[in-house]
Structure 1
Amino acid sequence: MKVFVAAAVAAGLLSAAPAFANMELAKAKNCLTCHSVDQKLVGPAYKDVAKKYAGDSTAVAKLAEKIQKGGSGVWGQMPMPANPVTPEEAKTLATWVLSLK
């Protein structure tokens, strides 16, 4: 029984690791200066972004491009600047944001 509980706890920690790692990437790339997971700051809350793009099969590509190149008009007039991230980092961030509920 103890082995089962230990395995279940370890599996839970491993499944949480990617979300934590992506939050760490968002922190490292200064995304959290303007965004938060659950409340609007300068830019929209990540949960609002996830909700807006739910069901959009092209959302990861759209958001990854927006993360890299910046943009304006989707969430108001405040522009989002281009961000110094690699294409893979942008895709990782976009995938993470879209996974938030």
Structure 2
Amino acid sequence: MKITRSLNFGLLALAGLAFACGGGEKAAETATPEAAAPAAAPAQEISLEDKYKDDPIYIKGLEKLKASDCTSCHMVERKIVGPSYADVAAKYENTEENVTMLAQKVIAGGVGVWGEVPMPAHPGLSEEDAKDMIRYVLLLKK
């Protein structure tokens, strides 16, 4: 009897964890006449890795992001705690002024631009490393 209770509790905890991590999220789908009609041959999408495999900005920025704590709050295409990298790229033009301003925001931290959840400061991050990360993020503009 106690084993069944423990098993049920474990399954419930696992389901709760999966839902909390986005496993329960479903996008609403509606049928439209365009969606019902057969589409022409879909264009082959090129992955980011293939598109930028030889770009030193992409390589250096991705390497520095993976070594940082940024991925605990940000993903390329999906909002977690903070905005997705793609959302940031869509909001800001890829200019040196924006790279500098965003790098300073990463180092200093802040709140209010993307909601009320604060981004922690990263005072140990050099300005050049922060700029490399921002340049990578801004490459993701569609």
Q: Judge conservation of contact 1:29–1:85 (CA < 8 Å) in 2.
A: no
Q: How does 1:63-74 map onto structure 2 within 5 Å?
A: 63-74=102-113
Greater Cα radius of gyration, structure 1 or 2: 2
Q: Which residue of 57, 80, 97 maps to 1:58?
A: 97
Deviation beyond 2 Å, 4+ runs, structure 1: 54-58
- Spell out the pairing of 1:12-91 with structure 2 (5 A cutoff): 15-54=54-93, 58-83=97-122, 84-91=124-131
Change (3 A) 1:57 1:90: closer
**Structure 2: gaps spanning 5 or more residues:** 1-50
Q: Per the alignment, in what secondary structure is the counterpart of residue 15 of structure 1?
A: coil
Instruction: Give unpaired runs (5+ residues) of structure 1.
Output: 1-11
TM-score (norm 1): 0.78
TM-score (norm 2): 0.57
Aligned to 2:136: 96
Partner SS, residue 82 of structure 2: coil
| Structure richer in helix, relative to its length | 1
Root-mean-square deviation (CA, aligned residues, Å) is 2.1
Count the aligned residue pairs: 90
Closer, same or farther: CA 33–55 of 1 in aligned 2, 3 Å: closer
Q: Which has the higher contact order (CA 8 A, sep 6+)?
A: 1
Q: Deviations over 1:50-95 (max 9, x none)?
A: 1001266521011100110100100000000011311110111111
